């Protein structure tokens, strides 16, 4: 899996961000490391390029490493660190200018689903979009987002769909959304979701940001459409997940 490195001037900030991001990880395989602070026990404010380079190598995998930073000089230190690691590793390390907290949470969830480095990078970069939408601000859509809105082909022999009712208190947000995305990502199928109550979508079931922006709340119905080799298995797994209320106890 893609692993995540959080670079911060503050050890306390990095540890807290890592703890928050780890709540989004269902699988225990993904690693989140920090390189933060300087001085004795790293309690002084600052960053160290050598320690960043060491941290990258400690968590490096062939899937790659995504590096997130808090402030300006942390970016400089991270860039310097790339000069201190083997050149073959550099090809699979992405320094990402996404927001530190939101980016860490989204990147952890997406990497935990088994997504590749480019997808994890793109999702982290989009991490502020749900907040923008909640505050009523308009964000220009990228070509990738516009393509997400395309409906699946209408060949009924290839396409299967189901309608599910979301009953858990948080809807498709936080950990339920992570479980939904990670379950969808485990199948060889193209899966799209529409919120039938708000008519938002369709959106990719394998993108945490896309699912979050559907605004699926408790009681909403979603239409899940799938095509591909494992379409039926995917729909059954997602149906079972929803029927089990994502493993949560329903509030009375």
- The pLDDT assigned to 208 comes to 86
User: Can you tell me the distance from the alpha carbon of 60 to that of 5, in angstroms, rounded to the nearest whole number?
Assistant: 10
User: Can you tell me the distance from the alpha carbon of 33 to that of 14, in angstroms, rounded to the nearest whole number?
Assistant: 9
The beta strand positions in 124-228, using DSSP E, are 159-165, 190-195, 200-204, 221-227
User: Can you tell me the distance from the alpha carbon of 225 to that of 240, in angstroms, rounded to the nearest whole number?
Assistant: 15
pLDDT in tens, 180-201: 998 999 999 999 999 999 999 9
pLDDT in tens, 70-93: 988 899 999 999 999 999 999 999
User: Can you tell me the distance from the alpha carbon of 42 to that of 239, in angstroms, rounded to the nearest whole number?
Assistant: 47
Domains annotated for the chain, with CATH where assigned, are 3-132 (3.40.50.510), 147-247 (3.30.1340.10)
State if pTM tops 0.95.
no
């Amino acid at each position: 899996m893609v692993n995540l490195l959080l670079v911060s001037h503050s050890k306390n900030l990095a540890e807290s961000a890592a703890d928050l991001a780890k709540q989004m990880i269902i699988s225990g395989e993904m690693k989140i490391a920090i390189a933060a602070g300087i001085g004795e026990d790293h309690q002084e404010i600052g960053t160290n390029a050598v320690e960043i380079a060491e941290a990258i190598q400690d968590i490096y995998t062939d899937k790659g490493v995504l590096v997130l930073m808090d402030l300006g000089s942390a970016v400089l230190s991270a860039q310097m660190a790339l000069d201190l690691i083997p050149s073959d590793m550099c090809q699979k390390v992405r320094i990402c200018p996404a927001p530190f907290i939101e980016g860490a949470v989204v990147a952890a969830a997406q990497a935990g689903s088994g997504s590749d480095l480019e997808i994890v990078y793109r999702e982290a970069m989009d991490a502020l979009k749900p907040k923008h939408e909640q505050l009523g601000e308009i964000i220009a859509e990228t070509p990738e987002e516009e393509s997400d809105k395309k409906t699946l082909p209408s060949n009924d022999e290839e396409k299967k769909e189901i309608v599910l009712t979301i009953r858990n208190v948080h809807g498709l947000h936080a950990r339920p959304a992570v479980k939904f995305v990670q379950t969808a990502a485990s199948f060889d199928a193209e899966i799209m979701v529409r919120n039938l109550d708000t008519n938002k979508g369709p959106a990719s079931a394998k993108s945490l940001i896309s699912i979050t922006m559907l605004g699926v709340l408790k009681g909403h119905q979603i239409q899940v459409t799938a095509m591909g080799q494992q379409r039926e298995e995917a729909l059954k797994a997602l149906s079972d997940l929803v029927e089990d209320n994502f493993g949560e106890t329903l509030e009375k």
